[in-house]
Amino acid sequence: MPLIAKQIYFGFLFITFCIYSFFVYTSDTPSDAKELMTTDAQAGKVIYQQNNCFSCHQLYGLGGYMGPDLTNVISAPGKGEIYTKALIMSGTQKMPNFHLNEQEINSLIAYLKYVDKTGVSPTIKYSINSDGSVNYNQ
Ligand code: HEC
């Protein structure tokens, strides 16, 4: 390839890269995701971080493994908002009671609702047998 052709080709790629980068870095978050993240949910996110829920729980599959994944606890059959509230209010033998007030718990619920609407976890269905082996259920 002659040098001029290489330069034109490189220039074309460079300009395309710049235009693409501009759109990637200036495009906004989709508005429906923004609407779900209410000020209450934002406050709940801070409470979640301050109390280190991440050390035992996963969201979107990431976090600690002592407690269950909380991504879809709000919509899981047999669980839901009231169950979640009750568990946070009382704690269990393994999970501490954080002595949060009503407002803080409501914010946490708003945050968990946001997480539930924006993710699914785990993405594959499996069950663990008593001998530790795993069954994948499609
Ligand atoms: C020291 C570890 C630990 C921390 C920190 C912790 N949890 Fe838990 N949590 C657990 C365990 C373990 C369970 C499972 C219940 C059990 O076995 O007692 C649980 C259960 C739950 C459940 C019920 C989940 C389900 O699917 O049944 C919710 C909701 C929950 N925790 C919320 C929270 C929130 C919110 C925080 C932070 C304020 C938090 N947890 C911090 C250990 C923890």
Rounded average pLDDT per 10-residue block, the chain, 138 residues:
93 97 84 79 97 96 94 95 96 95 97 93 84 82
Ligand 1 site, residue 80, Cβ cutoff 6 A? no
* Cβ-based neighbours of 53, under 8 Å, separated by 6 or more: 63, 70
Ligand 1 site, residue 84, Cβ cutoff 6 A? yes
Ligand 1 site, residue 67, Cβ cutoff 6 A? yes
Just give the CATH number of 37-136: 1.10.760.10
Quick one: pLDDT at residue 33? 66
Q: Domain spans of the chain?
A: 1-31, 37-136
Give the residue, out of 66, 73, 95, with the most ligand 1 atoms within 8 A of its beta carbon, to mutate for a pocket test.
95
Residue listed under structure tokens 């909380």: 70
Quick one: pLDDT at residue 90? 95
Q: What is the DSSP letter of 97?
A: -
Quick one: pLDDT at residue 60? 94
